[in-house]
Amino acid sequence: MSTPKFSRGQLNVFQTPDDVNRVTSALHGVGRKVALVPTMGALHDGHRELLRRAKRLPGTVVGASIFVNPLQFGEGEDFDAYPRPLEHDLEVLAEMGAELVFVPKVDDLYAPGHSVTVHPGPLGDELEGAARPGHFSGVLTVVSKLLNIVAPDYAFFGEKDYQQLVLVKRMVRELNIPTKVIGVSTVREHDGLALSSRNVYLSEEQRADAAVLAAALAAGAHAGQEGAEAVLSAARQTLAARPQVAVDYLELRGTDLGPAPVDGQARLLIAARVSRTRLIDNLPVLLGAGV
């Protein structure tokens, strides 16, 4: 079978695993590196930042994938409602200088009878995993498929989905996947709200309420020197001003999402519902004397 056409300097769209794999193999064959930005589409400035970071790599073809992965959505979640503005997304990718995009249909990745999945280990059942059972198995299964299909040298993920980033890094390390995973800081609105494709679900009033997540994290991070209790208490105090925001969890953890240290780098994570929209966010916190 011949390699599909690939035009340098243009956005090349591929639907099937075989097509995109032949193209990236051919690129590797002529010494080019490949960077992948996996997404579920509805691209915003957070995704743009991941693409911008990828574009900084010399001699590297930057690609993205757009796939709303049914395996990571639970029953009653927003799989059907999830925004899918494909034309807009292709324009953003072309504007950002991406040269390939993999846009499979569900059947292209999950043939009937597909049954093998990746088990994330105990961290997959905590935090987001406790609220969304099976979510991280779905995420790791599709990410491992994307990395096997595209075979990128680099893959970029946002810190906004911090637990996802930690688990993807762990999977790549423990399953010996030869891709370097690069985490990118969260891009925020002027009032701190983390950009997220799900922000489109918010009404004007809910959008104002949603800013309290970032404000609570910032208040917590600010209290880091006084220790873990002070961090949580400052964050809770900020959240108390918006009782209509239903906090699912507010937790201080180590940077690997194990227990937080007494001193040094930690991560403060939050998930909350603003009406029916579930939002997540997190920030680094330097605890105690910061050693």
Ligand X SMILES: Nc1ncnc2c1ncn2[C@@H]1O[C@H](COP(=O)(O)OP(=O)(O)OP(=O)(O)O)[C@@H](O)[C@H]1O
The footprint of ligand BAL (CB under 6 A) covers 72, 161
Give the interface with ligand X as residue ranges (CB under 6 A): 39-40, 46-47, 49-50, 157-158, 160-161, 184, 186-187, 194-198
**Is residue 47 annotated as involved in ligand binding?**
yes
Asked if 36 interacts with ligand PAF (CB under 6 A), we say no
Given the complex with ligand PAF, which of 42 and 245 has the nearer CB atom? 42
Q: Which stretch binds ligand PAF (CB under 6 A): 139-147, 173-181, 217-225, 283-291?
A: 139-147
The residues that are catalytic are: 47
Distance from CA of residue 98 to its chain's centroid? Answer: 18
Asked if 103 interacts with ligand PAF (CB under 6 A), we say no
Question: Could you tell which of ligand X, ligand PAF, ligand BAL, none binds residue 142, using a CB distance below 5 to 8 A set by kind?
Answer: ligand PAF
Question: Could you tell which of ligand X, ligand BAL, ligand PAF, none binds residue 186, using a CB distance below 5 to 8 A set by kind?
Answer: ligand X
Question: Could you tell which of ligand PAF, ligand BAL, ligand X, none binds residue 62, using a CB distance below 5 to 8 A set by kind?
Answer: none
Given the complex with ligand X, which of 192 and 234 has the nearer CB atom? 192
Given the complex with ligand PAF, which of 72 and 137 has the nearer CB atom? 72
**Do residues 120 and 132 make contact, with C-beta atoms less than 8 angstroms apart?**
no
**Is residue 19 annotated as involved in ligand binding?**
no
Measured distance CA(241)–CA(235) in Å, rounded: 11
Q: Which stretch binds ligand PAF (CB under 6 A): 34-42, 49-57, 233-241, 252-260?
A: 34-42
**Is residue 161 annotated as involved in ligand binding?**
yes
- 278 backbone φψ class: left, alpha, beta (φ>0; ψ -120 to 50): beta
Q: Which amino acid is residue 160, in one-letter code?
A: K
Measured distance CA(133)–CA(56) in Å, rounded: 37
Given the complex with ligand BAL, which of 72 and 137 has the nearer CB atom? 72
- Kindly state the smallest distance separating residue 72's Cβ from ligand PAF, in Å: 6
Burial class (CB within 10 angstroms; exposed 0-12, middle 13-18, buried 19+) of 177: middle
**Is residue 43 annotated as involved in ligand binding?**
yes
Measured distance CA(83)–CA(40) in Å, rounded: 9
**Is residue 191 annotated as involved in ligand binding?**
no
Q: How many helices (H) and strands (E) does the chain have?
A: 9, 9
Question: Could you tell which of ligand X, ligand PAF, ligand BAL, none binds residue 278, using a CB distance below 5 to 8 A set by kind?
Answer: none
Angle (deg, nearest 10), helices 228-240 and 204-222: 160
- End-to-end Cα distance, the chain: 57
Spell out, one character per residue from 215 to 244, where the chain touches ligand PAF: x when CB under 6 A holds, - when not.
------------------------------
Given the complex with ligand BAL, which of 72 and 179 has the nearer CB atom? 72
User: In the beta sheet, which residues pair with residue 283?
Assistant: 268
Measured distance CA(227)–CA(17) in Å, rounded: 49
Residue 286 sits at φ, ψ, to 5 deg, of -100, 115
Exposure b/e, 39-63, CB count within 10 A at least 16 = b: bbbbbeebbbbbbbbbeebeebbbb
Asked if 42 interacts with ligand PAF (CB under 6 A), we say no
Asked if 69 interacts with ligand PAF (CB under 6 A), we say yes
* Residue ranges binding ligand PAF (CB under 6 A): 38-40, 69, 72, 139, 142-143, 161, 164
